């Protein structure tokens, strides 16, 4: 708990430095509104605050025993800063708010980041939790945070490979966030690394006396390295340069073709899985519309800028499945990496 309090103190210190260096004032004498966006499940206690629901290394869920908005407000008051938290949202909800600012017809948001998540608008009448309330009996639509990372945990719909199972076993939350471990930035490079080292152990790649010690380090093959799958040169020199510079591995042209192919296979599989999930949510969002219309989806996160082929394959897969379901072609917009920060700012001023 002391570490959490220190975190809020650090945030308040940085806010003080920002206000001073940019000469920020409210102009009205009223406190400056601050929107918080957090990349963890959030149990909202009010529009302005909530408690974090997180996963321990043992896989148990726990609630952070404090309202994070109140905790930050307290730190701000201790530093006599004219700032108050007026909204707290999960990153994917913030992304959808930002998307609607740019594209008012947005009905779904997708985050392709270190992790993965999606949100969409569902008809209030279809939500059991609020079915008996005035909202549940209205024609309203409600933003749903799907926690897409956990998709398939309680069913056999996801079929992991032996390499996926290895990544899961060696992760901090074994048995949880199975879908995320197949598709997210945090894990894709590690899947590729496991494939390469197994190929090397079976003498299918590199010379037998190759020093694999550096590549044998977990998470040493970053997902950003997978952009080498775009290397179209005759000798695949980008692949060769990466292997030599980062892992001290000399490679033949055949070795480079295999590494490039493994990167491509892992990326395309991930993109198609995300595209399939997106198509399912597009159908739900379309069914919730009062008047049928093309679904508008906004995508945000690091992978949108780091791996364009991944994003293109995701949207193409979703479009193909949407067409197969007889729905109108969806519209995809890419917000870039900072969509949720814009959404947090906009939420801070919402009523």
Check pLDDT > 70 for residue 62: no
Q: Between 3.40.367.20, 3.90.25.10, 3.20.20.140, 3.50.50.60, what CATH number should domain 91-351 receive?
A: 3.40.367.20
DSSP state of 329: P
* CA–CA distance, 39 with 119 (Å, rounded to integer): 13
User: In the prediction, which pLDDT does 168 show?
Assistant: 95
User: In the prediction, which pLDDT does 162 show?
Assistant: 96
Q: Pull the structure tokens for residue 228.
A: 């080498």
* CA–CA distance, 7 with 9 (Å, rounded to integer): 5
User: In the prediction, which pLDDT does 100 show?
Assistant: 87
User: In the prediction, which pLDDT does 93 show?
Assistant: 86
Parse the chain into domains and list their residue ranges.
Answer: 2-90, 91-351
Check pLDDT > 60 for residue 138: yes
Q: How many CB atoms lie within 10 A of CB 336?
A: 12
User: In the prediction, which pLDDT does 47 show?
Assistant: 62
User: In the prediction, which pLDDT does 63 show?
Assistant: 53
User: In the prediction, which pLDDT does 55 show?
Assistant: 56
**Alpha-helical regions (H) of 23-134:** 68-78, 91-102
Q: Which residue has the higher pLDDT, 110 or 45?
A: 110
Over residues 216-264, the pLDDT tens digits come to: 999 999 999 999 999 999 999 999 999 999 999 999 999 999 999 999 9
Q: What share of the chain is helix, strand, coil (3-state, %, to 5)?
A: 50, 15, 35
* CA–CA distance, 328 with 281 (Å, rounded to integer): 14
Assigned CATH class of 2-90: alpha beta
Over residues 271-296, the pLDDT tens digits come to: 999 999 999 999 999 998 888 889 99
Characterize 73-89 residue by residue with b for buried, 16 or more Cβ atoms within 10 angstroms of its Cβ, and e for exposed: bebbeeeebebbbbbbb
- Cβ(56)–Cβ(62) under 8 Å? yes
Check pLDDT > 90 for residue 4: no
Check pLDDT > 60 for residue 60: no
CA atoms within 13 A on the CB side of 90: 26
Residue with the two structure tokens 């719909």: 157
Check pLDDT > 70 for residue 58: no
Q: Name the least confident of 10-14, 93-97, 187-191, 257-261.
A: 93-97
């Amino acid at each position: 708990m002391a570490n959490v309090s220190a975190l809020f103190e650090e945030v308040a210190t940085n806010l003080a430095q920002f206000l001073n260096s940019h000469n920020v004032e409210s102009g009205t004498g009223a406190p400056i509104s601050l929107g918080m966006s957090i990349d963890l499940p959030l149990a909202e206690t009010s529009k302005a605050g909530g408690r974090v629901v997180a996963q321990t290394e043992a896989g148990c869920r726990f609630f952070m025993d404090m309202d994070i908005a109140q905790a930050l407000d307290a730190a701000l008051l201790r530093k006599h800063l004219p700032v108050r938290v007026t909204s707290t949202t999960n990153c994917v909800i913030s992304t959808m708010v930002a998307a609607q600012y740019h594209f008012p017809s947005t009905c779904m948001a997708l985050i392709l980041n270190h992790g993965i998540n999606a949100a969409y608008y569902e008809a209030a009448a279809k939500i059991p939790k609020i079915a008996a309330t005035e909202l549940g009996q209205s024609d309203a639509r409600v933003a749903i945070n799907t926690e897409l990372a956990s998709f398939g945990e309680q069913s056999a719909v996801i079929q992991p490979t032996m390499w996926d199972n290895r990544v899961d076993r060696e992760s901090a939350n074994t048995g949880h966030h199975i879908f995320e471990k197949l598709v997210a930035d945090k894990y894709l490079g590690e899947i590729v690394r496991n494939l390469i080292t197994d190929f090397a152990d079976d003498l299918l790649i590199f010379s037998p006396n190759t020093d694999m010690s550096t590549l044998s380090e977990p998470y040493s093959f970053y997902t950003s390295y997978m952009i080498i799958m775009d290397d179209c040169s005759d000798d695949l020199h980008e692949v060769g340069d990466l292997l030599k510079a980062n892992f001290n591995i000399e490679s033949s042209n055949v070795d480079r073709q295999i590494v490039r192919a493994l990167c491509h296979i892992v990326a395309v599989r991930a993109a198609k899985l995300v595209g399939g999930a997106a198509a399912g949510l597009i159908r739900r969002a379309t069914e919730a519309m009062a008047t049928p219309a093309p679904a508008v989806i906004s995508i945000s996160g690091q992978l949108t800028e780091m791996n364009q082929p991944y994003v293109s394959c995701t949207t193409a897969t979703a479009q193909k499945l949407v067409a197969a379901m007889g729905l109108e072609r969806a519209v995809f917009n890419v917000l870039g990496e900072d969509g949720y920060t814009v959404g947090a700012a906009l939420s801070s001023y919402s009523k």
